[in-house]
Chains A and B, each alone.
Chain A
Amino acid sequence: MTQISDVTQDKKNARARIKRMKLSNVVARNILFLFAIITILTTIGIIASLLRDSVGFFAEISVKDFLFGKVWTPLFSEPQFGVLPLVCGTILITVISAVISIPIGLFTAIYLSEYANRKVRKVIKPILEVLAGIPSIVFGYFALTTITPFLKNIIPQTEIFNALSASIAVGVMTIPLVSSLSEDALRAVPDSLRQGALALGSTKMETSLKVVVPAAISGISASFVLAISRAIGETMIVTIAAGARSNLTINPLESVQTMTSFIVQASQGDNPHGTVGYYSLFAVGLLLFLITLVLNIFSHYLVDKYRKEY
Chain B
Amino acid sequence: MNQVKYRKLKNSIFHVAIFCITLIGIVVLAVLLVDIIKRGVPFLTKTFFTNFPSRFPKKSGILPGIMGSVYIILLTIVFSVPVGVGTAVYLEEYAKNNRITKFIKINISNLSGTPSIVYGLLGLAVFVRTFGLGKSILSGALTMSLVVLPIVIVSSQEAIKAVPQYLMHGSYALGATKWQTIRKIVIPSALPGIFTGVILSVSRALGESAPLLMVGAATYVSKLPDSVFSGFTALPLQIYYWMGLPKEEFKDLAAAGIIVLLAILLSTNAITILLRNKYQRSME
Contact = CB atoms under 8 A, between A and B. Distances in A.
Interface centre among A108, A112, A139, A234 (most CB of B within 10 A): A108
B8 A36 contact: no
Contact of B109 (A236, A268, A296): A296
A85 interface: no
Contact of B25 (A108, A142, A285): A108
B28 A172 contact: yes
A43 B104 CA distance: 10
Nearest to A278: B124
A296 B254 contact: no
A111 B206 contact: no
A39 B19 contact: no
Contacts of A235: 115-117, 210
B45 interface: no
A129 B120 CA distance: 26
Interface in A24-82: 24-25, 28-29, 31-33, 35-36, 38-40, 42-43, 45-46, 49-50, 52-53
A22 B176 CA distance: 10
A36 B104 contact: yes
A288 interface: yes
Interface residues of B, number: 85
Contacts of B21: 103-104, 107-108, 111
Interface of B: 7-8, 10-11, 14-15, 17-19, 21-22, 24-26, 28-29, 31-32, 35-36, 39, 82-83, 86-87, 89-91, 94-95, 103-104, 106-111, 113-122, 124-126, 129-130, 146, 149-150, 153, 177-180, 182, 203, 206-210, 213-214, 216, 236, 239-240, 243, 251, 254-255, 258, 261-262, 265-266, 269, 273
Given A32-B89, A203-B11, A289-B114, 18 more contacts: A25-B178, A39-B107, A42-B111, A43-B107, A107-B17, A108-B18, A111-B18, A111-B19, A111-B21, A133-B265, A134-B265, A137-B236, A142-B35, A142-B36, A145-B255, A240-B240, A296-B110, A297-B106
